[in-house]
């Protein structure tokens, strides 16, 4: 394989740039020509390629986001969009593609792979909801951004004897909320995987108040049935029942734009190398991820037919530690 391309797709994640840099430099080491695809699948369907040399990926290792930019592209979900992408790739003589992205993006790479094009995915999303990697690119940095916010909110919550509901990202997956809850010392964690009625949350807050705590923090995943906005509405007229006065903070996209930490820069560099090696070995149609601390290749077919589950032991730990 002599000519490959790399792209980022879906929600950006800290470490994407480090992964692009690694793909480019390892590819050059393997005597490959490397192209970047601008704007994810939206760029792929129109053949928006740019040649990348070692110097073109200088100065990006420490930057969040993706210098190739990311996009969401409904057209690529259609047969016509995928045929256009294949045409663009073949017209440029590109023989292999690395797709850095999350669940949706890897559904896209599987679609291309089923059409016979050699693709390798790199597991990248702050949600950590991708089967085939115990930890995905960007999660560690996002968690540290969340923790910084939680630590600050705890300070002001304690000064005013307040409860805070803090909403973090996670459309279908409570990983960020759960881990932020444990690392940030939350009194309650609410995730999409576990149905939690607001009255249960109220009991937790009330109980923290009665145990003499001067604050209560509830970390909720955005995809939970009762997210921050719904909890706020539920408790609107009833703060007294909680013991504490209540405030709500939705962290939003600030979680995605962090400067990648050491863990994500190193993971990205290893993932990039592994993706190029998989293309060079001719083992394509796989996702590069981390399993039991080792780089793993999982077939995209398996990635796309399995849902990552949350560890119930960790859910229990969060509950025990909140006392």
User: Which residues does the annotation mark as catalytic?
Assistant: 127
- By CB under 6 A, tell whether 286 contacts ligand F6P: no
Q: Look up residue 260 and give its DSSP letter.
A: P
- By CB under 6 A, tell whether 102 contacts ligand F6P: yes
Number of residues that bind ligand F6P (CB under 6 A): 10
Longest dimension (CA), the chain: 69
Closest CA to 184 of 1, 37, 322: 322
Q: DSSP string covering 264-295, please?
A: HHHHHHHHHHHHHHHHHHT--SEEEEEETTEE
CB of 22 to ligand F6P, least distance (A): 22
- By CB under 6 A, tell whether 170 contacts ligand F6P: yes
- By CB under 6 A, tell whether 103 contacts ligand ADP: yes
Of the listed pieces 23-31, 72-80, 132-140, 147-155, which binds ligand ADP according to CB under 6 A?
A: 72-80
Instruction: Pick the closer one to ligand ADP by CB: 172 or 232.
Output: 172
* Phi–psi pair at 188, nearest 5 degrees: -155, 150
Which of ligand F6P, ligand ADP, none sits in contact with 77, Cβ below 5 to 8 A by type? Answer: ligand ADP
Task: Put the strands of the sheet holding 245-250 in their side by side order.
Answer: 188-190, 216-221, 162-168, 245-250
- By CB under 6 A, tell whether 9 contacts ligand ADP: yes
- By CB under 6 A, tell whether 256 contacts ligand F6P: yes
Instruction: Pick the closer one to ligand F6P by CB: 35 or 76.
Output: 76
Number of residues that bind ligand ADP (CB under 6 A): 17
Cβ neighbours, 10 Å, residue 14: 31
- By CB under 6 A, tell whether 111 contacts ligand ADP: yes
Instruction: Pick the closer one to ligand ADP by CB: 102 or 184.
Output: 102
94 and 7 in contact (C-beta within 8 Å)?
no
Q: How far apart are the first and last CA of the chain?
A: 56
Decide the pairing of beta strands 33-37 and 3-8.
parallel
- By CB under 6 A, tell whether 108 contacts ligand ADP: yes
Can you tell me which of 7, 23, 64, 76 binds ligand ADP, judged by CB under 6 A?
Answer: 76
Residues 115-154 contacting ligand F6P, CB under 6 A: 125-127
Instruction: Pick the closer one to ligand F6P by CB: 4 or 176.
Output: 176
Half-sphere exposure of 75 (CA within 13 A, CB side): 13
- Quote the strand ranges of the chain, DSSP E: 3-8, 33-37, 49-52, 96-101, 119-123, 162-168, 188-190, 216-221, 245-250, 286-291, 294-299
What's the CA gap between 269 and 22, in Å, rounded?
A: 5
- By CB under 6 A, tell whether 107 contacts ligand ADP: yes
Can you tell me which of 8, 27, 41, 204 binds ligand ADP, judged by CB under 6 A?
Answer: 41
- By CB under 6 A, tell whether 10 contacts ligand ADP: yes
- By CB under 6 A, tell whether 160 contacts ligand ADP: no
60 and 21 in contact (C-beta within 8 Å)?
yes
- By CB under 6 A, tell whether 11 contacts ligand F6P: yes
Binding site for ligand ADP (CB under 6 A): 9-11, 41, 72-73, 76-77, 101-105, 107-108, 111, 125
Binding site for ligand F6P (CB under 6 A): 11, 102, 125-127, 169-171, 222, 256
């Amino acid at each position: 394989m002599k000519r490959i391309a790399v792209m980022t797709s879906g929600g950006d994640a800290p470490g994407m740039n480090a992964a692009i840099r690694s793909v480019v430099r390892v590819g050059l080491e393997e005597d490959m020509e490397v192209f970047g695809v601008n704007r994810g699948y939206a760029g792929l369907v129109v053949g928006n390629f740019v040649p990348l040399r070692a110097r073109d990926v200088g100065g990006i290792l420490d930057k969040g986001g993706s210098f190739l930019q990311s996009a969401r592209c409904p057209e690529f979900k259609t047969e016509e969009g995928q045929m256009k992408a294949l045409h663009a790739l073949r017209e440029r003589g590109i023989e292999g593609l690395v797709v850095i992205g999350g669940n949706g993006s890897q559904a896209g790479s599987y679609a291309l792979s089923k059409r016979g094009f050699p693709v390798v995915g790199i597991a990248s999303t702050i949600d950590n909801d991708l089967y085939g990697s115990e930890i995905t690119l960007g999660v560690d940095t996002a968690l540290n951004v969340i923790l910084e916010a939680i630590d600050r909110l705890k300070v002001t919550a304690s000064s005013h004897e307040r409860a805070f509901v803090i909403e973090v990202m996670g459309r279908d997956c409570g990983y960020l909320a759960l881990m932020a809850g444990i690392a940030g010392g939350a009194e309650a964690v609410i995730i999409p995987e576990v149905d939690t009625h607001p009255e249960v949350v109220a009991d937790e807050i009330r109980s923290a108040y009665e145990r003499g705590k001067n604050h209560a923090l509830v970390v909720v995943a955005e995809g939970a049935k009762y997210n921050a906005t719904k909890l706020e509405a539920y408790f609107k007229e009833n703060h007294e029942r909680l013991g504490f006065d209540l405030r709500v903070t939705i962290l939003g996209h600030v979680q995605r734009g962090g400067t990648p930490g050491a863990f994500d820069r190193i993971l990205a560099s290893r993932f990039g190398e592994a993706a190029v090696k998989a293309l060079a070995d001719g083992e394509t149609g796989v996702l590069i991820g981390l399993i039991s601390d080792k780089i793993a290749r999982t077939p995209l077919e398996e990635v796309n037919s399995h849902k990552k589950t949350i560890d119930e032991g960790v859910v229990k730990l969060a509950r025990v530690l909140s006392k």
